[in-house]
Amino acid sequence: MRHPESEQLSAFAEGRLQETRLREVVERHLEDCPDCRSEVAWIRELRTEALSLKSQEAPPPEGLWARVEAGIHASGRRTSQGPAGDTAPATMDLSQARRGRRRGGGGWTRYTLQAAAVLALAAISSFAALTLLRTGSGGVDDPNGSAGAPALVAEREAPGGSVRFASAMEELESAYAPAILELERALERDRENLAPATIQVLEENLRIIDEALREALTALAADPGSSMATGLVGGMYETKLQVLQQAVRLAQGV
Amino acid sequence: MKTNGMEGARGDRACGARPRMVRGRMDRGRGGRACVTRAWRARTWGARTRGTLVGLLAGMAITAAPGAAQETIEETRPLRAGGSLEIRTMDHSILLIPWDRNEVRVRGEYDPRLERLEIRGSGDSGESLTVEIHHEGGSRGRESRGDRTLEVQVPAELRLDGGSVSGSIEGAGLRGTVEVASVSGSIRLTGLDVERAHITSVSGSLQVEGRGEEVRARTVSGEVRVNVEAPVIAAQSVSGPVTVEGRGVHRRVEMGAVSGGIVFQGALGPRGELKAESHSGNVELTFNRNVDARFRLSTFSGSIRADLEGVRDRREERGRFAPGETLTFTTGDGLGRVEARSFSGRLRVGHGG
């Protein structure tokens, strides 16, 4: 059985498949293919959840980041060890995630993606963000404070420190990517419902967020131990998600 | 429930009394059509705010561009004290004015050709109310008028969830909880007495004054100014400056910026924590009273200067293979924690006030 392309399934799930004949082909295929039916259901569900994600509703439980971080590291090990077909890359787009899931391989599953997105949102927002990825080199909570070399130097000199943070940031991006991609797609489809001035404001501010994200990532690359930069990177993803959510709601009039 | 429909301020030509911005300063002379600018955003709030703002809105109603199909909004709905109010607009600014009634009155203008006004409530119980102005579908290529304000009189105590895309949000004297966000508009909340205030914007500036249990403000490229009496404060901007002028004593303060500078002036309570970090901006911490804390000040290529009295256990460390400096010391009983950090900026810690 030949499966429809991921893009076709996505368009079908979102009601964007305009061509009647193609729509009917997909409909017929879905009747016989539980995998693709599940795929369509997932796309719809993910989009709904992306619209309803609200980080403040889920304060980060104790030890949450440790679990996320463990997952990130585990994922990183899989990425570096396994063959391409067995593992997901550190950064992927939604279609890659879907393909991984359809293969039933060891890539990001729907649950993992959603959980990671929610966990990252919860973990990176607010105060928690400023204490994340602490390197143990004497932060506010470190009672021993000044032990060892100066914090900034120690962090920069620590073996693999930059790699660890780069990896964490990539994973963070991939955690947000599905929701952001879905929202961008929905916005693109419904953007004509928005006034040009509104589109201009939204696009300009999304560009500002992306620039700020780059600025924060640059800071983080220079200073991997900066919990502030880490927090702001997470904050920028969260802000981007919120702005996109707002834009899609406005465009859809919901 | 009272609905006044089309009754409103149209025809009132009181606009000349309203201040306007002229090259960054307030001009209180005649406003003319310029009155419909965002002048009110910059004005100082005082006892005369309400009366003046009523005039402001009245003036806005008659300064519509020729041919514009603006329709006046004047709707009043029940909302109990402590009830939930959600307000969403596209380009309308939102002006929140507390009053002593268990009602919400919404006044302003909208263009029914391009916009849809929705007001939904929980009925006479006044438990919750939603006010939204959407663009109508198919408005592509048609512009609604900008620079319009939705004046919303609200019970002083409420749970507010407000947002605008390009409009600013301003309010004075609110109580309860406040969560407001704007994409490009500025947000200015004064006289707050809240449990919690969360304020966010992308490119707008944020200004918060008053008191609360927890105050958080975050913007991407705007300026953040927090002048509050609150145990817990968080203020962040990526590229804008962040200033916290605290009143009372704080239990936890967190301030962050990437390229913006950070200024803190206030007092830390017993076992209080303060963390301030900017990547390339300067960090200046001024304590209004003696502070009992363990300090840790770090920079990679910037400089550190600490002028505090009663310093002990002072220790200065430098990197072996790269620039970098960390200064640690203790003041008083050392039970609190202060951490300041800048990669390339200047760190200054001292007494003042």
In this complex, is the C-beta atom of B317 within 8 Å of any C-beta atom belonging to chain A? yes
Q: Is the pLDDT of residue A134 over 80?
A: no
In angstroms, the CA A191 to CA A187 distance is 5
User: How close does chain A come to B318, measured CA to CA in Å?
Assistant: 6
Spatial distance between the Cα atoms of A83 and A102, rounded to a whole number of angstroms: 17
Residue contact A212–B221, C-beta within 8 A: yes
Whole-number pLDDT of residue B290? 85
Q: Which residues of A touch B144 (CB under 8 A)?
A: 195, 197
| Interchain pair B273, A194: CB under 8 A | no
Percentages of chain A per state (helix, strand, coil), in multiples of 5: 70, 0, 30
Q: Do A212 and B341 touch (CB under 8 A)?
A: no
Nearest to B108 by CA among B58, B68, B156: B58
Cβ–Cβ gap A231/B236 under 8 Å: yes
CB contact under 8 A, A127 and B252: yes
With contacts defined as CB-CB under 8 Å, which chain B residues touch A226? 277, 279, 341, 343
Residue of A144, A152, A165 for testing the chain B interface, max B β-carbons within 10 Å:
A152
Query: Residue B309 above 90 pLDDT?
Result: no
% of chain B at pLDDT higher than 70: 77
User: Cα angle vertex B257, ends B290, B263, to 5°?
Assistant: 30
Partners of residue A196 in chain B, C-beta under 8 Å: 140-141, 143
- Chain segment A190-227, per-residue pLDDT in tens: 888 788 888 888 899 999 998 998 888 888 888 877 88
β-pair partners for B244: B226, B264
Mean pLDDT of chain A: 60
Binary contact (B236, A153; C-beta < 8 A): no
Helix (H, G, I), strand (E, B) or coil at A19: coil
Q: Which residue is associated with the tokens 């025809």?
A: B11
Q: Residue A152's closest chain B neighbor by CA?
A: B300
Residue carrying structure tokens 């880490």: A230
Whole-angstrom distance, CA of residue B307 vs CA of residue B309: 7
Whether the CB-CB separation of B84 and B159 falls below 8 Å is answered with: yes
Q: Do residues B128 and B121 touch, judged by C-beta distance below 8 A?
A: yes
A130 vs B contacts (CB less than 8 Å): 234, 254, 256, 275
Q: Which helix (H) or strand (E) holds B295?
A: strand B293-299
Q: Mean pLDDT across the stretch B31-42? A: 30
Question: Torsion angle of alpha carbons A137, A138, A140, A145, nearest 10°?
Answer: 180
Is residue A65 very low, low, confident or very high in pLDDT (cuts 50, 70, 90)? Answer: very low
Question: What Cα–Cα distance (Å) separates residue B335 from each residue in B231, B327, B352?
Answer: 17, 17, 21
Q: How far apart are CA B234 and CA B256, in angstroms?
A: 8
* Nearest CA among B178, B204, B205 for reference residue B191: B178
* Residue-wise DSSP of B6-72: T-SSTT--GGGGS-EEETTEEE-S--GGGGGSSGGGGSPP-TTHHHHHHHHHHHHHH-PPTT---EE
Radius of gyration of chain B (CA): 23
In the block, tokens 């406003």 appear at: B31
pLDDT tops 60 at residue A145? no
Which one has a higher pLDDT value, B212 or A147? B212
Nearest to residue B77, comparing CAs of B134, B153, B148? B153
Confidence of residue A239 (pLDDT cuts 50, 70, 90): confident
Per-residue pLDDT reduced to its tens digit, B65-85: 434 578 999 999 999 999 999
| SS3 assignment for A97-157 | HHHHHHHCCCCCCHHHHHHHHHHHHHHHCHHHHHCCCCCCCCCCCCCCCCCCCCHHHHHHH
Indicate the pTM of the whole model.
Answer: 0.65
Q: Which residue of chain A comes nearest to B114, CA vs CA? A: A195
Q: Give the DSSP letter of residue A61.
A: P
The reported pLDDT for the residue numbered A2 is 77
User: What is the nearest CA distance from B136 to chain A, expressed in angstroms?
Assistant: 7
Residue B158 is given by DSSP the state: E
Sequence letter at residue B315 = R
- Inter-chain contact B279–A195, Cβ cutoff 8 Å? no
Cβ-defined contact of B343 to A149 (cutoff 8 Å): no
Q: How many angstroms separate the most distant Cα atoms in chain A?
A: 70
Nearest to A99 by CA among A228, A4, A216: A4
Predicted-complex ipTM score: 0.72
- Average pLDDT (A222-233) is 81
Dig out the tokens for B321 from the structure: 């293979």
Helix pair angle (A6-13, A34-52), 10° resolution: 60
Name all contacts of A141-149 with Cβ < 8 Å and 24+ positions apart.
Answer: A141/B337, A145/B294, A145/B296, A145/B328, A146/B296, A146/B315, A146/B317, A146/B326, A146/B328, A149/B317, A149/B319, A149/B320, A149/B326
Of A197, A222, A236, the CB nearest to B220: A236
Output the pLDDT for position A238.
Answer: 84
Of the residues B144, B183, B214, B237, the best mutation for testing chain A's interface (the one with the most A CB atoms within 10 Å of its CB) is B183
> Which residues are B71's β-sheet partners?
B110
Interatomic CA distance for residues B117 and A174, integer angstroms? 38
Least confident of A14-28, A135-149, B51-65, B291-305: A135-149
Could A215 and B142 be called an inter-chain contact, meaning their C-beta atoms sit closer than 8 Å? no
Question: Residue A126 and residue A130: Cα distance in Å, rounded?
Answer: 8
Of the listed ranges A12-16, A112-116, A178-182, B117-121, the one predicted with least confidence = A112-116
Contact B326 A140 (CB under 8 A): no
pLDDT at A81 over 60: no
Q: What spatial distance separates the first Cα and last Cα of chain A, rounded to whole Å? A: 38
Determine contact, residues B90/A195, Cβ cutoff 8 Å.
yes
Residue in A126, A201, A216 closest to B183 by CB? A201
Joined tokens for residue A117: 């997105």
Tokens standing for residue A70: 């463990």
Partner A contacted by B130 (CB < 8 A): no
Check pLDDT > 70 for residue B295: yes
SS3 A53: coil
Distance from CA of B47 to the nearest CA of A (A): 34
How does pLDDT run across A84-124, given as a tens digit for each residue? 222 222 222 223 333 333 333 222 233 333 434 443 443 33
pLDDT of residue B62: 33
The predicted structure's pLDDT at residue B27:
33
Q: How far apart are CA A34 and CA A43, in angstroms?
A: 14
CB-CB under 8 Å, A202 with B325: no
